[in-house]
A and B are shown apart, each in its own frame.
Chain A
Amino acid sequence: MLYSVRFWGGLRGVINAMLVVYMLAPLAVILIISFSSAMFLTFPPPGFSLQYYEKMFSNPTWTRAILTSVKIMVPTAIIATVLGTAAALALSRMQSRWALVIRGILMAPLIIPVIITAAAIFGVFRIWGLYGSLPGLIIAHVILTLPFVMSTVSANLMVFDNRLEDAAANCGAPPFTAFRRITLPLIAPSVLSGMLFAMVISFDELVVSLFLSTPTVRPVTVQMWSNIKGDTDPTIAAIATVLFLFSLLALLIDGLARHKSGRAPGL
């Protein structure tokens, strides 16, 4: 049996199928249930209805929460992308030991457990008056997403041929022109990746938001959290679907960008 190609092929099929079910079934269930006509979460749904989506958009608690999340996400993505890209560019040009130290400092939020980051930022931001405010949440989210943008762009810069900038200078391009015409277009796909994932991470973030938010400034994930912990409002299925589709969209856009630029799909 050990030598049978059929046996091994079959086993691999079973493993692949298990993977697909385990990874996707929960998401599929949420997706289906969100269109249910039942008044509570039941499967399979007795009929099709958009009632949960209607509730989501008519209930001010949810609309306000979604709006708050967007108000945090957009500035977070912009700031993290600009600062992270600038840092990656700077580090790729530094050769001293300082570059390693700085890279380590900037990557720290990715390495230190989020619960510690969250507790620490909460404690200090409360003293600084940033607790429960949009700027406070934006700063915290930038800290969590910046290392991500930086490492994505850095990975791209590692394979970027520095002599292209030299060649541009030799052709008569001043430094900023060389950057705008040569470097930026060539690293644009990774900058886009970084920004998309900064958006997804910010929109999905719960732990830090849980510490920093108040009933007046409450992102959608925190609202979901308190709903799930209390008595479950089926509207959550619709919200969860929106969150999931947002991630899926980002992943697809990134996949297309990578495909066009010939990079492998990655984390």
Chain B
Amino acid sequence: MLLRNRAFWLVLPAVLLIGICFLYPVTWLLQRSVSEPVWGFQNYQTIFGRSIYLGVLWNTISIAGTTTTLCALFGFPVAYSMVHSKPLLRRVLIFVVLIPFWTSILVRSFAWLVILQGGGIINDLLIGIGLIVEPLELVYNRFGVLLGMVQVLLPFMIFPLYSVMARIDESYFKAAMNLGANPIRAFLRVYLPLCLPGLLTGAMLVFIISLGYFITPALLGGRGDIMIAQLIFDRIDEFGDWPLASALAIVLLVGTGLLFVTVNVLLKLRGRGV
């Protein structure tokens, strides 16, 4: 009883802080989507009724989807390579993935700008060797956004995949080949299904984080690459349009939540062998 009381006092400051300065503001923000300007769903009608907003929603989903696909395509071989490397090389590779992970997104986006922009390194180089005459448009477009986002989000794909692959017993693969499957069939029928939980977890993380992404698309994207987070920022920062920003926040939150629940249910069903 005494111990339980002590635990209560230990956790109380953190709970109070998060409750008052986080949960309360979030509910305060979210309720404004239905209470202003008058009670009702008019803000949602605006979002789902106007092509500019629908365009932003579509941008958000398609950028998140493409980022996830690219992360999976690149992350899978990288994770595989990590698992099958000698310990020293594996440490180096993990460190290589961790360094940018802990570096400010702002710093990395700035670096991409320096490399990709009109007078940037790549264009200078290509013009210098005479391969092109006019600078290529490598940034302030979808290409720049994806290049930047995949680099930032790749670790979220690599680490879940890595932890699943590290536990897969190679003898399954050998057994499949021994039973007459060629390497490609063995890979598709045995190895890939075993990796699926890691792939699913990684994809969910990348997709969910992409949905709310702000800095990278804002710095590396063009006018056609505005995502929902940037729209929320602009609505508040430029127009003070809280009700609409709040409705957008709800849309983002509900989308994120639904995805999270769906993937977790899928993982549980798989875990039960259904």
The answer to whether A29 touches B14, judged by C-beta atoms less than 8 angstroms apart, is no
The answer to whether B25 touches A120, judged by C-beta atoms less than 8 angstroms apart, is yes
| A19-B96, A24-B99 known; A113+B84 contact, CB < 8 A | no
The answer to whether B106 touches A114, judged by C-beta atoms less than 8 angstroms apart, is no
Interface size of B by CB at 8 A reads 82
Specify which of A43, A119, A243, A267 is in contact with B29 (CB 8 Å cutoff).
A119
CB distance from B106 to the nearest CB of A (A): 5
A94 close to B (CB within 8 Å): yes
The answer to whether B115 touches A23, judged by C-beta atoms less than 8 angstroms apart, is no
CB distance from A145 to the nearest CB of B (A): 12
CB neighbours (8 Å) of A267 from chain B are: 98, 101, 155, 159
CB distance from B164 to the nearest CB of A (A): 15
Point out which of A20, A30, A86, A120 has the most chain B C-beta atoms below 10 A from its C-beta.
A120
Specify which of B9, B21, B108 is in contact with A27 (CB 8 Å cutoff).
B108
B3 close to A (CB within 8 Å): yes
Q: Which of A188-220 contact B (CB under 8 A)?
A: 197, 200, 203-204, 206-207, 210-211
The answer to whether B14 touches A84, judged by C-beta atoms less than 8 angstroms apart, is yes
A203 to B120, CA, bound (A): 28
| A26-B115, A115-B214 known; A102+B249 contact, CB < 8 A | no
The answer to whether A116 touches B21, judged by C-beta atoms less than 8 angstroms apart, is no
The answer to whether B107 touches A102, judged by C-beta atoms less than 8 angstroms apart, is no
The answer to whether B17 touches A108, judged by C-beta atoms less than 8 angstroms apart, is no
The answer to whether A15 touches B114, judged by C-beta atoms less than 8 angstroms apart, is no
New contact pairs (12) apart from A24-B96, A228-B106, CB-CB < 8 Å: A15-B78, A16-B78, A16-B85, A27-B107, A86-B10, A89-B7, A94-B7, A108-B23, A123-B25, A123-B28, A140-B21, A251-B99
CB neighbours (8 Å) of A142 from chain B are: 17
B175 close to A (CB within 8 Å): no
The secondary structure that dominates the A interface is: helix
| A113-B211, A243-B104, A267-B155 known; A19+B93 contact, CB < 8 A | yes
A-B contact pairs, 18 of them (CB 8 A): A2-B184, A15-B77, A23-B99, A23-B100, A25-B115, A27-B107, A42-B119, A83-B17, A108-B22, A124-B29, A139-B17, A150-B14, A204-B107, A207-B214, A207-B215, A240-B111, A243-B103, A267-B159
Specify which of A27, A91, A236, A240 is in contact with B11 (CB 8 Å cutoff).
A91
CB neighbours (8 Å) of B74 from chain A are: 18
The answer to whether A250 touches B110, judged by C-beta atoms less than 8 angstroms apart, is no
Specify which of B77, B98, B110, B249 is in contact with A240 (CB 8 Å cutoff).
B110
Chain A interface residues (CB < 8 Å from chain B): 2-3, 11-12, 15-16, 18-20, 22-27, 29-30, 33, 41-43, 83-84, 86-87, 89-91, 93-94, 102, 105-106, 108-109, 112-117, 119-125, 139-140, 142-143, 146, 150, 175, 197, 200, 203-204, 206-207, 210-211, 221, 224-225, 228-229, 232, 236-237, 240, 243-244, 247-248, 250-251, 255, 265, 267
CB neighbours (8 Å) of A90 from chain B are: 6-11
Q: What 1/0 flags go to B17-52 for Cβ under 8 Å of A?
A: 111011111101110000000000000000000000
